Amino acid sequence: MSTGQPDRSPSAQASSTPTRTEPPPTAPTTAHLRYVFPVGGCRGDASQSHHDYPASDIFAKVGCRFVSPVDGWVDEVTRVDGWDGKTNVGRDRGGLSVSVVGVDGVRYYGSHLSAIAGGIRPGLMVRVGQTLGLTGKTGSARGTPPHLHFGISWPTAPGKWWIRRGAVPPQAFLASWHGGGQLSPVASVAKVRRGYGVDRGCRSYC
């Protein structure tokens, strides 16, 4: 039965520590690492700030392509919009969503999607620019203009949505990729993760 909880690979569900199988010989590597802006085929205007925690809302019309910003693997997929404005449960605010762990070790999260692309599932190898879903206004975006909520963080055990939604400000990286640049978030993510320390649970807008 479908729920609003993210799908993960069987290995990730069975352990509190995510595991990953060895990539096949044709899997993407960091040898030719490339980044792209996560909205494709449409104009996307990224917000320069975000309420309560680091992230960016990339405003774009409904149905634009949310693409993988880098080679990597699908981490989690939420296929059912379980958000209810009366309860405003934090884990449900993203509505339909997909996260990818890149070959650079960084996790990229896009939410408020109107649809998940066919075949997208946890553990699937994806290439930079590959369509993951379509922009929309599911979850807590129902009363706002359509946009892609975009967050950057590090991989975590299942269920830590307060990290997955965004832990590192993505604005500088989005601006670079939008202009064809290749600014990498790897160092920034590592620095924030060290400063974050032991995860004590959600700390703001929970």
pLDDT recorded at residue 56: 94
163 CB contacts (<8 Å, ≥6 apart)?
153, 154, 156, 199
20 pLDDT exceeds 50? no
Give the CA distances from residue 147 to residues 91, 95, 109, in Å, rounded to whole numbers and listed in that order. Answer: 18, 12, 13
Higher pLDDT, 186 or 10: 186
Predicted structure pTM score? 0.87
When pLDDT is averaged across residues 40-67 and rounded to a whole number, the result is: 91
User: Is CATH 2.70.70.10 correct for 30-195?
Assistant: yes
Say if residue 173's pLDDT is above 70. Answer: yes
Average pLDDT taken over every residue of the chain: 88
Instruction: Provide the residue ranges of all domains of the chain, joining segments of one domain with +.
Output: 30-195
